[in-house]
Amino acid sequence: MYRVFEALDELIDIVEEARSVPMSANCVVPRSAVIELLADLRDAIPAELDDAQDVLDEKETLVANARTTADELIDGAQSESESTLAHARAEADRMLSEAKAKADRMVEEASAHARSVTESANEDAQRLAHGAQREFEAVTGRARAEAARVVEAGNANYEKSVADGIAEQQRLVSEAEVVAAAKSEAERIVDAAYAESDRLRGDCDVYVDEKLAAFEDVLTGTLRSVNRGRQQLRTGAGTHDYVEHPHAVGGDFADPDFGHERAHRPAAAPMAG
């Protein structure tokens, strides 16, 4: 490429130093030297310029071919994209349909399970409520019967003590020498009978209160089990862990002394002879 500029400089020097033609703007230049410099200039021009000229000559054809190829590529890409999009839409519709069917099936199964758990919990709650009611009625009936029996025994003991006191008083009255002592003893026996009756009534009240307290523990345990079952139902656990009250076995109190009179009853005060 340097030779191109050098040859151009030499041509310029030749033209500047050439003799002028009289009466004109022309000049006389050495033909052989100019031809030689032009040949050197032609040889020094890179081949890429010739190729570039060929490209320029074929520009329209290349541009047309490139446009045709680009149009074909665009049409193919558009067709492929439409086909891919249609396939993707069909696949998405299929997956959405399957997901919806699966969701409906899961909702139906969950609803059926919830209905089953609810029915089971309702049956357990009703069974516990009925059992508690029967237990309450049975315990209350036994407690009332025991209270009536204890009160009746206390009244009988009281009446017997009063009768014994009156009889003893009448016997003592018949004896003049012990009238004062008999009167005092009779009053003491009557007071003791009243005291014994009050004590028996107090023992009866304590006994009934103890049995009612034990039954209250049973009811508390039953209500706790019912509440725990309801809580498990709300949280969807689906299982029930019912724990029987430690005092309730077979629907009755595990008290060996239940329904029996207390072993130790204070005896009536002996009468003075």
Residue 272, pLDDT > 80, answer no
Helices (H) and strands (E) in the chain, counts: 5, 4
What tokens were used for 192?
């003791």
Q: For the chain, what is the mean pLDDT?
A: 76
Q: Are 189 and 161 in contact (CB under 8 A)?
A: yes
What tokens were used for 6?
């050098």
Q: Are 3 and 44 in contact (CB under 8 A)?
A: yes
* pLDDT digits 0-9 by tens, 1-28: 667 778 778 888 888 887 777 777 787 7
Residue 179 confidence (pLDDT): 65
Q: Are 181 and 272 in contact (CB under 8 A)?
A: yes
Residue 142, pLDDT > 50, answer yes
C-alpha 192/C-alpha 207 separation (Å) is 22
Name the band, by pLDDT with cuts 50, 70 and 90, for residue 264.
very low
The SS3 of residue 19 is strand
